[in-house]
Each structure stands twice: as structure tokens, then as C-alpha cells.
Amino acid sequence: MPEGVEIEIYRRQAEPVVGRRIAAIDAPDDWFLKGGLTAEEVADAALGATVTAARRRGKLLVLDLSSGHRLGLRFGMTGRLIVDDEAAIEYLEYSSQRNDTAWDRFCLTFDDDNRLVIRDPRRLGGVELDPEEERLGADVFTITPTQLADRVFVGSVAIKARLLDQGRIAGVGNLIADETLWRAGIDPARPGDSLDRNERRRLHRHLRAVVSEFLDNGGSHTGRLQEARVRGGRCPRDGVELDRRTIGGRTTYSCPKHQR
């Protein structure tokens, strides 16, 4: 977290900055500027420019600028967006519940004196200039059955690892993946190419439903599986103890009874 759902919430929150001119930039944390980027380079590209669009691709929030450059904003697991001193998401799962301005890693101040701030206690997000958007896969909100088949239902890699690969599907995080597979009744460790036609259709249907429902409910932590995603947690559907494994480098919860 944040996952694609949270970044879509941030995108909507950022829409009011479109049309504003950037009057000042504060980038106090060199670590937060990625790819060798410096604060001076950000200033050269963005200072005095107008924001012409706020877009999202997966977990990446992009601000298009009148200078021809793009600012790519990433939020890691603990980054929140603050616009005009308001946060669309007050807290994130697995992050500190404090709200400390010492964690402000990047700030744009506009000519109306309002601001856009990334507040990130663990510094896991970052800012890029002209990010390589083409490296990202099909977006989770719009992916088609054919795109899913071409990107996920291939090879012997675990299906969950395929879902988490941002080069294949942009925007799926750990909570979205576990909830989708749990609802679809598919074991997250199964090879991507092992799913039959009905299972593929079911997974696509549940993936689209999960992100839509999470967005309506305010975040990726609102799934039916979420409260049980703890050691010793039990499946909300079957009542059996959930399996807890590491798949695709992430802690994974699944039901040994109905996920096959």
C-alpha cells in the first residue's frame, strides 16, 4: 500500500492543481529524488511551469507540465498525498498513524500559495522526471481478458507473482492480489499457465470487481479477507486457518480449502 486504488484516489485529489503555476519547489531529501535526479534539475524542468494534467498509470501519479516535462510521483508503502493542506486518505495500513510534517519529502507550492506535498515516513516513494511510463503494463482498472491472458496466464511463475509484476499489470499490490485470488478460488502459488478457461474468466471478473469495490470503499484495505490476514487468521468463507506463505516476495494469505 498504496496500491493502484489509492493512487487513483490521489489522482482525483490532485485534479485541482491542474491549471496552477508552480512558484516554488522544496525537495529536501536527496534520497527521494530517483535516477540520479537533483533538486536543481527538478527546478529547471518545473519551476514556473503550469500543471496541464494529473494522470495515473498503475501506482504512478503523473503531473504533465507546460514545460513539456512530466513529474512522476511514487508513494511506496507509506506515502500520502496532501493537497491544499487536506489528505484524501488520512492513514494507510502498515504505516505510522502519526501525521508529522517532518516526513514531507517533496512539495510544490503554486502561485495561489496552495501546495501539493508527499508525506512519507519510511521514504519508500520517490519523484522522477519524465518517468518511463512505457515500461508499465496494462492498467488494472482497464485490463481486458486478452491482455490478462497475454501477460499473466503464461509460464510456470506463480500466478500471484505475475499479478504483482508491474511490467505486466500496473497497479496490483499485495492486498488486491490476495483478495482477488481468494474470491476467485485460485491458489496463489499455481503456475500462470495452469488455469483453465473458466478460471481465467473468473479471475478477470474478480480482479475488475475488487478494484472497483476498493475504490468505492476508500482503499485496498477494505476487502473481505483483510481482517483475517494475520497469523492464525481464518478464512471468512470456510472458517479454516489461512495458509501464510511468501510468494512473489510478498507475504501471502490464502485458504487451503477453497483456493485450488
What is the chain's pLDDT, residue by residue, as a tens digit (260 residues)? 689 999 999 999 999 999 999 999 999 999 999 999 999 999 999 999 999 999 999 999 999 999 999 999 999 988 999 999 999 887 776 676 777 888 999 999 999 999 999 999 999 999 999 999 999 999 999 999 999 999 999 999 999 999 999 999 999 999 999 999 999 999 999 999 999 999 999 999 999 999 999 999 999 999 999 999 999 999 999 999 999 999 999 999 999 999 99
Question: Positive or negative CA dihedral for 154, 156, 159, 165?
Answer: negative
The CATH number for 4-134, chosen from 3.90.600.10, 1.10.3720.10, 1.10.290.10, 3.20.190.10, is 3.20.190.10
The pLDDT value recorded for residue 84 is 95
**The pLDDT value given to residue 99:** 75
Distance CA 220, CA 2 (A): 8
- Return phi, psi of residue 188, to 5°: -65, -20
How many CA atoms lie less than 13 Å away from 154 in the CB half-sphere?
A: 9
**In angstroms, how far is CA 18 from the centroid of its own chain?**
21
For residue 174, give the C-alpha cell.
499485495
- Give the residue extent of every domain in the chain: 4-134, 137-254
The whole-number pLDDT of residue 96 equals 63
> pTM surpassing 0.85?
yes
Give the span between the Cα atoms of 79 and 122, in whole angstroms.
Answer: 8
Which pLDDT does position 234 carry in this prediction? 98
Distance CA 128, CA 63 (A): 11
- Is the C-alpha dihedral spanning 109, 92, 105, 38 positive or negative? negative
Which of 258, 212, 252 shows the shortest CA–CA distance to 239? 258
The residues with which 164 forms a beta bridge, in sequence order, are none
pLDDT at 98: 74
Asked if the domains at 4-134 and 137-254 fall in one CATH topology, the answer is: no
pLDDT value for 4: 96
Supply the CATH classification number for the domain 137-254.
1.10.8.50
Backbone angles phi and psi of 166, in degrees to 5: -65, -20
Q: Kindly provide the residue ranges of all beta strands, DSSP E only, lying in 130-218, ordered along the sequence.
A: 138-139, 169-170
Compute the Cα dihedral for 141, 220, 124, 119 and give only its sign.
Answer: positive
